[in-house]
Chains A and B, each alone.
Chain A
């Protein structure tokens, strides 16, 4: 077989990635993923090589705990057969390749712009001219919302096709948040600049993204982390999960007008993020994770504070969760709302909690463990209905699970970090990939260096890149008034998608 197999956080000489002829590349990637629910594409991207585009595809195998990588080189103006026509989970990746490099596809089902990046191939395509799907019917009507939404949230434009109150179709247009993140990773040369960029990819997933960046950087630089750093990063990841899940439960209650839940979950989040401030000076943990060293080693005093905070948090959290599972007024809004089936989730390549809401077991902590997850014997929380209520239950159970992990971890805090600060020198002509399980799901960072050890390409993938389509499909046949709660229960990232 013409692919190489590596594990998470491993880097290899870029020359060892096989280069295949495109049609074979296509057949192989489809063969690897079709009828293999345990495998999915974690990253498929291209980069310029003179007049050509070098395509690299990375398929993760959750049972083997490996990532299979292959590549193909195609001419810039090529028109290719698409992967998407045979496996729809590739659709977004191919749209991105089309938008960035002008590569055409003969049989792509939905070849539309993804984010209107500054360096897109077709400069004449502008965000205000996005080609929305239009129904052309006298009975149906279209509802447009955004890009500036009613709440304090990021921008995106949603176009609903409705039959009265019923949503038949929703198209989500993104790209408003495009800041040129991937390009800036190349332009900015200092590690602190690049780390700050990683921290700013999605401010609600600072730990998830900065951890992926750091592991990738260390793997490209050949650095092995000490036990304390692995411990601190894992701990921080679980605290971030508790904070955001709790905040989202507040938002979900707001969207069904359940004021008590909204206030209580809202205030329960406060001590958790304040703990980040006690640890590193910032409520959203910016500054806590650094490649090459650990600036804020965890200690006994912090452990004591964290236990105090969790002891106060847990009973109130459980009490509030019990209430929302008891009230007919909340349950009637949660159950069978925004539902997706297993087959749909699998076909579009959903990841993270949005996959786990309906038996699709995708969790990097278990399938491609990093940090100290192996020693925690993590078992993903899986639900079976794929509706808003499943997403509520996942958040609740994951919060309690994370608290359990933290309590276990705090029984044995490793000694303070021994190694000093290292600014990793990247190996030349090397490919590296890093996966972490943020609270939304799988975060992927990958990079290739040139012969001087300078970055040639830096790629970032937020779980939202896979999951926005899940939201669009979930609201079909729902009332339009149920959209906000469905949306909040996924809580996808705009800037993480737009980059």
Chain B
């Protein structure tokens, strides 16, 4: 007993006091910033592994970006990463970062379904479906519930059964072999329900986009309530995105 008390004492306070304002340590690769500097645009577009960069104006699609830093390395005066983890939004277009514009990505309040705050504002239970996720986003979603991030303080929690859930969180590019089980999990979740895409692979297929082994028809035919970019998503990006969606 005494030993246990000693361990508890040694832990101190581990939780991050304010998840809405927390800063990340080090050189986190968060939202990129694109300057107006003139560069060889064709070469810039070409260096990207996932086709996230387009011209006129030069933009990076966070839904496709794997945060590999290749563009930053080759065009340091043009692209840089900020430590801003606020990258989640509910409107696919808002994930496109344009040159010369340096503001956080936010949700579009106009298109948040009204029932979301009313029904889930105090408590949101989520079922996670890893649909060919590489286990990096899965690890980070697990971390959302640990003693550091303690997402549970907002009533947001992952649950074991879709029957107990208010929505699903998808990670991974969705393999053909997971398309069926994903649909079954979604169907087993009672309505009204939400869909969150966590990570670049889920949002666009990432590096797997175009692979014959994936099937993204689920994304095409359903309304997506929240996109959280990242490779993997950072717990703060996820928690803040969901909190914004719930209107907390």
Contacts and interface: CB of A to CB of B under 8 A. Distances in A.
Interface of A: 116-119, 127-128, 147-148, 150-155, 175-180, 183-184, 188, 190, 192-193, 195-197, 200-204, 206, 247, 260, 263-264, 266-267, 270, 274-275, 277-284, 286-287, 295, 315-316, 319-320, 323, 326, 493-495, 498
Nearest to A293: B73
Contact of A287 (B10, B29, B129, B208): B29
B175 A178 contact: yes
Interface of B: 3-4, 6-8, 10-11, 14, 24-29, 47-50, 66-70, 73, 81, 127-143, 146-148, 158, 160-162, 172-173, 175-178, 180-182, 184-185, 201, 206-208, 211-214, 231-232, 234
Centre residue among A179, A197, A263, A498 by max chain B CB count within 10 A? A179
A180 B185 contact: no
A153 B208 contact: no
> Lowest 10 A-B CB distances belong to which pairs?
A203-B136, A278-B26, A180-B213, A150-B160, A203-B134, A281-B29, A118-B213, A180-B211, A193-B49, A266-B146
Given A152-B141, A177-B132, A177-B178, A193 B207 contact: yes
B178 A176 contact: yes
Given A127-B177, A152-B158, A202-B135, A192 B28 contact: no
A283 B26 CA distance: 10
B83 to A, nearest CB: 9
Nearest to B148: A270
B211 A281 contact: no
A326 B3 contact: yes
A135 to B, nearest CB: 25
Contacts of B148: 267, 270
A307 to B, nearest CB: 16
Contacts of A275: 26
B160 A283 contact: no
Contacts of B180: 127-128
Contacts of A266: 143, 146-147
A281 B207 contact: no
Given A280-B27, A281-B69, 18 more contacts: A118-B212, A118-B213, A150-B161, A178-B177, A180-B212, A190-B49, A192-B47, A193-B50, A196-B207, A200-B206, A201-B134, A247-B139, A267-B147, A270-B146, A281-B81, A295-B73, A316-B10, A495-B134
Nearest to B199: A203
Contacts of A320: 7
Contacts of A326: 3
Nearest to B46: A190
A43 to B, nearest CB: 21
B135 A494 contact: yes
Contacts of B133: 154, 177, 203, 495
A361 to B, nearest CB: 28
A192 B68 contact: yes
Contacts of B129: 148, 155
Contact of A154 (B69, B138, B160, B213): B138
A281 B28 contact: yes
A320 B4 CA distance: 9
A493 B50 CA distance: 25
Contacts of A282: 28-29, 67, 231
A192 B49 contact: yes
Centre residue among B3, B48, B161, B178 by max chain A CB count within 10 A? B178
24 contacts: A127-B177, A148-B130, A148-B162, A152-B128, A152-B141, A153-B130, A153-B135, A155-B130, A176-B177, A177-B130, A184-B207, A188-B207, A193-B49, A200-B206, A203-B136, A203-B137, A203-B232, A267-B146, A274-B25, A281-B26, A284-B140, A286-B231, A295-B73, A319-B7
A94 B34 CA distance: 50
Contact of A196 (B49, B136, B141, B161): B49
A260 B208 contact: no
A118 B177 CA distance: 9
Contacts of B141: 152
Contacts of A116: 177
Contacts of B208: 179-180, 184, 200
B61 to A, nearest CB: 15
B136 A284 contact: yes
B210 to A, nearest CB: 8
B157 to A, nearest CB: 11
Given A152-B138, A176-B178, A316 B158 contact: no
A230 B136 CA distance: 25
B177 A323 contact: no
A414 B207 CA distance: 34
